[in-house]
């Protein structure tokens, strides 16, 4: 029996793109988050969907189609000095959007999703206080799974 990846369980690329589209529409209407995202590129939501998809063991869309990397994603947060209040609002709106678009809501998937979002958003806040990127371009994309022994974060295997 094959265990589906988080990417597959979420509904694939279309589901994640819909999630981030709805989410960033909310962000642009939010007084706390709007100042951070007011100048985002038109394709920002799709890039974030591709990043999450790749982390959730889907296709390498962020790396191969968007020209991104883990280091480049981290670089977007450098020097932004994100607050804990902004992080919590970001997380809240994303989870609200997940409910709104009908993303899988079983406890196992939502636990993995929330675990990743908590981890990633806390890393983003930490990196937002930095001026130099702590992630080298050679570092692999993070991989997130179902919480297997050894922790949920699994570095990409070559």
Judge whether 83 and 35 are in contact, CB under 8 Å.
Answer: no
The predicted-structure confidence for 97-133, as pLDDT tens digits, reads as follows 999 999 999 999 999 999 999 999 998 998 888 888 7
Ranges of residues in the chain with a pLDDT under 50 are 149-151
In the chain, where the domains are located: 6-155
> pTM of whole model > 0.85?
yes
Question: Residue 63 in contact with residue 52, Cβ under 8 Å?
Answer: no
Encoding tokens for residue 3? 């265990």
- CATH code matching the domain that covers 6-155, chosen among 3.90.550.10, 2.60.40.420, 1.10.760.10, 1.10.490.10: 1.10.490.10
């Amino acid at each position: 029996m094959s265990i589906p990846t988080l990417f597959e369980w979420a509904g694939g690329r279309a589901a994640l793109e819909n999630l981030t589209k709805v989410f960033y529409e909310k962000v642009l209407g939010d007084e706390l988050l709007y100042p951070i995202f007011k100048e985002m590129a038109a394709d920002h939501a799709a890039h974030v969907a591709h990043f999450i998809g790749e982390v959730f063991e889907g296709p390498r869309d962020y790396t191969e189609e968007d020209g991104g990397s883990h280091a480049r994603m981290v670089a977007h947060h450098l020097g932004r000095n994100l607050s804990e209040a902004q992080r919590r609002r970001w997380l809240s709106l994303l989870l609200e959007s997940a409910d709104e678009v009908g993303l899988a809501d079983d406890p196992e998937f939502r636990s993995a999703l929330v675990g990743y979002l908590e981890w990633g958003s806390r890393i983003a806040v930490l990196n937002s206080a930095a001026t130099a990127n702590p992630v080298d371009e050679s570092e692999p994309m993070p991989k997130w799974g179902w919480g297997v022994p050894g922790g949920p974060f699994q570095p990409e295997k070559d």
